[in-house]
Structure formats: C-alpha cells, structure tokens
Structure 1
Amino acid sequence: MVVSHVLAPLWRVRITVAYAAALFAIASLLVALGPGAQHRVVALWSTNLHNLAEGRLGTLLASAFVTGEGQTYLLLPGLVCLLALAELLWRSRRLVQVFLLGHVGATLIVAAGLAFAIKVGWAPITVSHADDVGLSYGAVAVLGTLTAAIPGRWRPAWITGWLTVAAAVVVLGGGFTAAGHTVALLLGIALSTRVRLGWPVSVHWTVFRRVLLAGGAAFGLLLLVGVALPSALVAVPAGVATALLAWSVTLRASRTPARRT
C-alpha cells in the first residue's frame, strides 16, 4: 500500500523521471570515464553540420542526452520542474511530442541557417564542427508551449517577455545556440495553439503547480541567458519591461467598454 502511494504520483511524471535518470546516469558515466571520453562522446553525438552531412541522423536524438559543459547535475532540478509540470498538464505522450519537435525542429532549422551562412561567407567553415549537444532546445520548446496553460490575461505578457529575452540574447551576440533557443521558443509558442484545443477552458493552478512553474521559468531563463552577466543585465530587464507593457495594455483593453455600433 505504501509503495503504491509513492509510485502513483511518480507514474504521472514517468517520462520526466526516466529522462532525468538517463541524463544522470550518462553524466555520471562520463565523469567516471574522464574528460577524454566526454570529449569523444560530445564530438560523436553532436548535431553539427559535419555529423549531419555524414548521415549520422541518430545524433538528432542522442544529442539530447549529454551536455557539452558537463553541467547536467546543475540543470536537473530546473529541468525536472519544467518537464514535470508539462507532463502533469499534458500527459506523457504530448510532452514527448513537444520536446522532440522542439529539439529536432530547432536543430534542423539552425543547421540549415549555418549551412547557408557558410556558403555565402558569413560564417567560417570551422563552425560545421562545433559542438552542438544538450537538452536546451527541447526544454525551451516545452517552456514556449506552456503558453497554453497561462491564463488569458497574462498570456500576452508571458509571450512578449520571453521573446524579448531570447531576441536580446541573439542581438547581443549569443551565437547560433541563442538563435536555436529563439527558434525553439517560437516553435513551442506555435504548438501551444494546438495544445490548448485539447485542454479545458482553464487550468487549475495548485500551489504545487505554481512552484513547478516558478522553477521551470527560472530554468528557462537560465537556458536563454546563460551565465554571461552582460547578457543577463540587458535581456532580463528588457524582458520584464516589455512583459509589464504588454500586461498593462491587456489590462487597459479589458477595462475598456465595448462601443455600440
């Protein structure tokens, strides 16, 4: 009886638990094997142009299970908050679909953009061998898809704030990874319109779900901004400012009585 009470809640977030466990196990194995092994795995599993041109399409999936900087342990708590919330709201199958579409879709779009940039001379050929692994594209897509769960009066502020942060990081020179995050966020927001069709009119926001949302949002901000202080000092205030502006416009529109024609 006690075991069933413990396992029942975990079963509701089984994809989150399984993915987090896989990330932890792979990270621990790479730590045990040493930096050399980690470098070889990252090179082999990267979804860079070189690997994709060689036909290693399996990297489109494998790349989501390793982080190039070895930061898996630090990322897991925030990732669990984000994915667990999404899985509780959408069920497991839809979470997998959103994560994979964001991860694979953003990867391919970024790869196409890099190939074009190299061809016209906007980027050096060495970028085709750059490490490109990690969970961030899929996670950011999940963050964007959570737009469907945000109450209507807050939704414009949510969308505007996140898009401003992502765009600011790109403008500040965040590189192709920042561009990939922006693409993944846009894909997630676009997917939110489809996800919302299968939901009730409103989502019941319990205290536990609010805590998960706060943790997931903080994690999403970390993925978008990274640890670069200059980017954070510009992107975060800009995102807050535009979100507040969007919220005030929405609030004013809701209070303006409709005129009879």
Structure 2
Amino acid sequence: MTMAAIAVRETTASWAARALSRAASVRVTAAYAVALAAISVMLKALGPHARDVVVSRMSTNLHNLAHGRLTTLVGSAFVDDGGEVYLWLPWLVCLLALGELLWRGKGLVVTFAVGHIGATLLVALGLVVALEAGWLPSSIARASDVGVSYGAVCVLGALTASVPSRWRAAWAGWWLGIAVTVALGADFTAVGHVLALLLGIGLSYRLPSAAAWTPSRIVLLCGGCAFGYFVLSGSSVEATATGLAAALIGLLAGRASRPQPSPA
C-alpha cells in the first residue's frame, strides 16, 4: 500500500471517528428525530382518518385528561398536527442538538419534559377555570393539542443563561415580545407557548451554560432560532415588530443596569 493510500485511509478513519463521536453526543436528539419522522410517515401512509384518530387519542385536551389518559402527556410529543415533517424537523433538530450539547441528554430530556408537560398542565388548569366561569364553549374540552412546540419552546427559553450577559435581556425580550403578542389574539396553544418560554427561562439558570460559542454551536443556534420564530410568531408582522421593540428595550435596560467604570 502506498503512502498516499495510507494517508487517505487514516484521514477517512479520523473523519469517521469524529462523526461517530458527534453523533453520540446528540443521540437523544437523533433518536427523537427518527421517531418523529417515522410516526409522521406512517400516519401519512395510513391516511387522514387514521391520523385524526391518533391525534384525538393522543391530544392532551381536557376530555382525555379528565378520563385519566395521562399517557397523552408523553404520546402527544410524538404526534404532529399534519404539517410536512421535512419542513420543520431539521430546524427542530438544530435546537434540540444545541440543548443536548450544552446540557447532555438528561438535561435536554428534563428541559423538554418541563415545557411539554408543565405548560400542558398549566393550560389545562386555565381552561378548567375558563369553562367553569363560562368564558369558553364546552367544545374546547375536546380540542386537538399535540406536537413538539411546548417542549421545544421551553428548550429555546432555557438557552437564556447561555447567551452572553450583554445580550441576555434583549434575547428574552425578543422571544417574550413575540410570544405575548401572539397570545393576546390567538388560542390557548399560544398561551401555552408563553408559559413554556417562561418555564424555560426560569430553568435556564439551573442548567449548565455555554462555556464558549463555537462556530458549530452558532450554526445550531441560528437553526433553532428559525424554528422558534416560526412556531411562536407564525410570521406575524405585528409580533415581529413587538419582539424587536422588546429586544431593544431589553438591550438598553441591560446596558443601563451594568456597572459603569469609575472615572480615573
């Protein structure tokens, strides 16, 4: 074997080893993404009726929760609402992979679960109060509520403590401005997004923060932010404008709160 062939072989082996190492570091994200894609493809193959049945049984609505179907608190995170999975899954993978790199698999699972289950139960409690007060029609108890958004938004919020301190208030203001604006004129799911975001922001200070922002982590952050933006805003111009205003206020407030250097 020539020296050139040996060099190529060693280089290929080195690349393969690095790829396996990186894949192992995000194995929870990879497993979840494969499960989401497989279930989505299967439901699409079975047809609209089968999807409707699964969505109905896995929805974390008041009807299912009141009948003790607590498995929906987990199962709903694996069923999408019928959108094309290939359009949003890569961006979700960026967000979750970044979380797993920062907090490891256990930290990511805990964070996602806090958002998915915590926001679901808080929304359910609010709906019960609203129904008892007669503010909402009884049909809301059977509304469909599945998907990854609560857990993912919590992961997004949990990145707050990893954002450099000078940008942290602007980061939080941007996402809260968008989420609250949409929640004021939308359904209970948008309110759940606000709750999940707040849960994530609160949790962020109990999680390991990023020691350094490498180029690969910045790329993952950009992809994750794209996912978060479209989930929270729905491309609303009003929400985007409010988010920008809140980010600017947060940036100015952050600068004002930092101690100023004393004059020489």
Given the two structures, how large is their TM-score scaled by the length of structure 1?
A: 0.92
Give 3-state SS (helix, strand or coil) of 1:153's partner. helix
82, 102, 109: which one aligns with 1:89: 102
Q: Which residue of 1 aligns with 2:194?
A: 182
Q: Which moved more, 1:210-219 or 1:247-256?
A: 247-256
Q: How does 1:21-170 map to 2 (within 5 A)?
A: 21-170=34-183
1:4-57 per-residue CA deviation (whole Å, 9 max, x = no partner) reads 433211000001100000000000000110111000000010000000011100
14, 20, 38: which one aligns with 2:33: 20
Q: Which residue of 2 aligns with 1:208?
A: 216
Q: Which residue of 2 aligns with 1:224?
A: 232
Using the TM superposition, give the Cα deviation of residue 176 of structure 1 relative to its aligned residue in structure 2, in angstroms: 0.1
Q: Give the conservation status (yes or no) of the 8 Å contact 2:173–2:249.
A: no
- What is the distance in 2 between the residues matched to 1:138 and 1:25? 19
Using the TM superposition, give the Cα deviation of residue 255 of structure 1 relative to its aligned residue in structure 2, in angstroms: 6.7
Q: Give the conservation status (yes or no) of the 8 Å contact 2:40–2:85.
A: yes
Give the gaps of 5 or more residues in structure 1.
none
Are 1:238 and 2:251 an aligned pair?
no
Give 3-state SS (helix, strand or coil) of 1:215's partner. helix
Given the two structures, how large is their TM-score scaled by the length of structure 2?
A: 0.91
Give the gaps of 5 or more residues in structure 2.
1-12
- What is the distance in 1 between the residues matched to 2:171 and 2:65? 35
- What is the distance in 2 between the residues matched to 1:70 and 1:124? 27
- What is the distance in 2 between the residues matched to 1:147 and 1:14? 23
- What is the distance in 2 between the residues matched to 1:203 and 1:67? 34
Using the TM superposition, give the Cα deviation of residue 242 of structure 1 relative to its aligned residue in structure 2, in angstroms: 1.6
Q: Give the conservation status (yes or no) of the 8 Å contact 2:169–2:253.
A: no
Give 3-state SS (helix, strand or coil) of 2:166's partner. coil
Q: Which residue of 1 aligns with 2:4?
A: none
- What is the distance in 2 between the residues matched to 1:109 and 1:86? 24
Q: Per the alignment, do residues 109 and 258 of structure 1 end up closer, same or farther by CA in structure 2, a change over 3 Å counting?
A: farther
Q: Which residue of 1 aligns with 2:7?
A: none
1:136-174 per-residue CA deviation (whole Å, 9 max, x = no partner) reads 000000000000110111111111111111110011x11
Q: Give the conservation status (yes or no) of the 8 Å contact 2:154–2:196.
A: yes
- What is the distance in 2 between the residues matched to 1:177 and 1:62? 17
Using the TM superposition, give the Cα deviation of residue 3 of structure 1 relative to its aligned residue in structure 2, in angstroms: 4.6
RMSD over equivalenced CA pairs, Å: 1.6
Give 3-state SS (helix, strand or coil) of 1:154's partner. helix
Using the TM superposition, give the Cα deviation of residue 75 of structure 1 relative to its aligned residue in structure 2, in angstroms: 1.5
- What is the distance in 1 between the residues matched to 2:261 and 2:254? 13
Q: Per the alignment, do residues 41 and 207 of structure 1 end up closer, same or farther by CA in structure 2, a change over 3 Å counting?
A: same
- What is the distance in 1 between the residues matched to 2:188 and 2:199? 16
Aligned pair count reads 250
Which letter does structure 1 place at the counterpart of 2:242?
A
Structure number with bigger Rg: 2
- What is the distance in 2 between the residues matched to 1:190 and 1:252? 22
